[in-house]
């Protein structure tokens, strides 16, 4: 019997279901593009998995057409799949500015691999998830193509509700798992793992059974599940998602595609993995923000959001939308804040020509509101801020922060709560466009 989803596992699926509802127009809200701060290419994730004993397709990576030909010949596979390596999804239906259609191709001829690679490497690939001009392909993955007789879904995530990892699986894989969670919740299975005892043989076998593996494949799938859990712990992952987790006609269980999320706080002991971070496809402003430990996501509105914490950022964006405005971004200040960070944050926000107002929404738990206030006044004075600024501060040292702002003599609009702040920010933009 499927256990109810909880914690991060359930939250992920519930969030995706909510997005579907929003897209159907059932209620207005902002849709944020999910991303992890450590970005790995497909071949990098597959190598990490292979290094930990997880079964993946045999593959090589090439950065020239000649290398791609040699890789295809070395594989000695019945059929070869050639994949352009970019971070954006939708490669299969993408278009290159060389004229080639599709970033994923199947062939049995190594010479065809070479010809295709010539039209991929060094050219821009445009998909639904890339900028308009596309992303330059610098590498391709040349892999053994395997037939899939059945596809399942498997993931391991950190679950706050049970203070540890959970396995989430479904016998319906290769499709959007969030859709399965909405239409067939009985096909979603969850199993909590005691982080001190580790995964047990019976748990891995039961999950393999729930996923529909039978006979010898059931034990093989259980072994792969245990290896994935060991990988999850060893690399300090917050999520390892395999879709599809499939079986081949030859009787092999293979992780065909995977997404790995990492705990940023573990960077100090995962230096080798974090050194692989591919920032080449980020917007320049995102890379600039990262230099100051700021997390920036650009949106298409005109009200800049300056907050501390991703959850507060999303709430702020949603409330702006509910009050008739459109967020231009969200910029997450994080916890250990310094005045210099606040200054740099304002510098980034004011450099965006779309920004017509700035909303600062800070809840000071570990953040000292007075530091924020000092940073705001310094930024306003030195950058000669020319757009309306609405500030809502709450928490640690808030009285001192309010004093600093009120005595600054700057045209700063204070707000009593988030709803008040959103209304004032939206109104300030409306006043600017009123004839």
Closest CA to 400 of 370, 363, 377, 374: 370
- Dihedral, CA of residue 269, residue 275, residue 280 and residue 281, to nearest 10: -40
Which residues are within 8 A (CB) of 178 and not within 5 positions of it... i.e. 6 or more apart? 12, 13, 16, 17, 20
| b/e burial code for range 193-203 (CB count within 10 A of at least 16 → b) | beeeeebeeeb
- Report d(CA 299, CA 285) in Å as an integer: 12
- Is 308 annotated as contributing to ligand binding? yes
- Report d(CA 31, CA 318) in Å as an integer: 9
Told to judge if 241 belongs to the known catalytic residues of this protein, a careful annotator would answer yes
- Report d(CA 241, CA 236) in Å as an integer: 14
Which residues are within 8 A (CB) of 226 and not within 5 positions of it... i.e. 6 or more apart? 199, 201, 204
What's the Cα-to-Cα distance from 10 to each of 151, 298, 354, rounded to whole Å? 21, 27, 36
Tokens for 376, please give them: 């705001």
Tokens for 108, please give them: 């049995």
- Is 91 annotated as contributing to ligand binding? yes
Told to judge if 153 belongs to the known catalytic residues of this protein, a careful annotator would answer yes
- Is 90 annotated as contributing to ligand binding? yes
Residue with tokens 């928490």: 395
Tokens for 31, please give them: 């849709």
- Report d(CA 363, CA 343) in Å as an integer: 18
Phi, psi of 293 (to 5 degrees): 60, 35
- Angle, vertex CA 431, rays to CA 427 and CA 432, nearest 5: 120
Residue with tokens 């109810």: 4
- Report d(CA 382, CA 298) in Å as an integer: 24
- Catalytic residue, candidates 153, 229, 292, 296: 153
User: Are β-strands 237-247 and 258-262 bridged in parallel, bridged antiparallel, or unpaired?
Assistant: antiparallel
- Report d(CA 417, CA 405) in Å as an integer: 16
- Catalytic residue, candidates 151, 191, 241, 356: 241
- Is 335 annotated as contributing to ligand binding? no
- Is 146 annotated as contributing to ligand binding? yes
- Is 365 annotated as contributing to ligand binding? yes
Which residues are within 8 A (CB) of 1 and not within 5 positions of it... i.e. 6 or more apart? none
- Report d(CA 301, CA 304) in Å as an integer: 8
- Is 257 annotated as contributing to ligand binding? yes
DSSP 249: T
Q: Which residues are annotated as a binding site for GTP?
A: 57, 90-92, 146
The residues assigned a catalytic role are 153, 241
Annotated binding site for Mg(2+), which residues? 243, 257
Q: Which residues are annotated as a binding site for substrate?
A: 308, 365-367
């Amino acid at each position: 019997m499927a256990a109810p989803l909880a914690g991060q596992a359930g939250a992920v699926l519930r969030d995706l279901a909510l997005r579907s509802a929003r897209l159907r127009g059932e209620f207005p809200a902002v849709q944020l593009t999910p991303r992890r701060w450590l970005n790995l290419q497909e071949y990098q994730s597959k190598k990490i998995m292979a290094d930990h004993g997880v079964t993946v397709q045999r593959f090589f990576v090439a950065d020239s057409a000649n290398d791609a030909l040699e890789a295809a010949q070395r594989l000695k596979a019945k059929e070869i799949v050639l994949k352009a390596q970019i971070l954006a999804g939708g490669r299969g239906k993408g278009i290159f500015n060389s004229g080639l259609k599709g970033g994923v191709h199947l062939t049995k001829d190594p010479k065809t691999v070479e010809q295709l690679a010539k039209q991929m490497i060094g050219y821009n690939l445009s998909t639904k998830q890339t900028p308009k001009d596309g992303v330059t392909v610098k590498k391709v993955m040349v892999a053994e193509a395997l037939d899939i007789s059945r596809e399942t879904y498997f993931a391991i995530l950190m679950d706050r509700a049970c203070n540890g990892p959970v396995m989430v699986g479904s016998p319906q894989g290769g499709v959007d798992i969030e859709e399965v969670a909405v239409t067939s919740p009985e096909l979603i299975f969850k199993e909590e793992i005691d982080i001190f005892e580790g995964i047990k043989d019976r748990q891995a076998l039961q999950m393999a059974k729930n996923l529909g593996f039978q006979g010898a494949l059931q034990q093989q799938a259980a072994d792969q599940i245990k290896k994935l859990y060991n990988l999850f712990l060893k690399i300090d992952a917050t999520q390892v998602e395999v879709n599809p987790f499939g079986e081949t006609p030859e009787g092999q269980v293979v992780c065909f595609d995977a997404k790995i999320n990492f705990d940023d706080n573990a960077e100090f002991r995962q230096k080798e993995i974090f050194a692989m971070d591919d920032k080449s496809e980020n917007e320049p402003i995102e890379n600039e923000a990262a230099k100051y430990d700021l997390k920036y996501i650009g949106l298409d509105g005109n009200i800049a959001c300056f907050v501390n914490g991703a959850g507060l950022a999303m709430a702020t964006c949603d409330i702006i939308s509910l009050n008739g405005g459109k967020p231009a971004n969200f910029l997450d200040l994080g916890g250990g804040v310094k005045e210099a960070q606040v200054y740099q944050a304002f510098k980034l926000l004011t450099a965006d020509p779309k920004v017509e107002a700035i909303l600062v929404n800070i809840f000071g738990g570990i953040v000292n509101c007075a530091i924020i206030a000092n940073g705001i006044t310094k930024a306003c004075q030195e950058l000669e801020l020319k757009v309306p600024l609405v500030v809502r501060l709450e928490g640690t040292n808030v009285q001192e922060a309010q004093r600093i702002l009120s005595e600054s003599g700057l045209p700063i609009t204070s707000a009593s709560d988030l709803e008040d702040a959103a209304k004032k920010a939206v109104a300030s933009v409306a006043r600017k466009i009123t004839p």
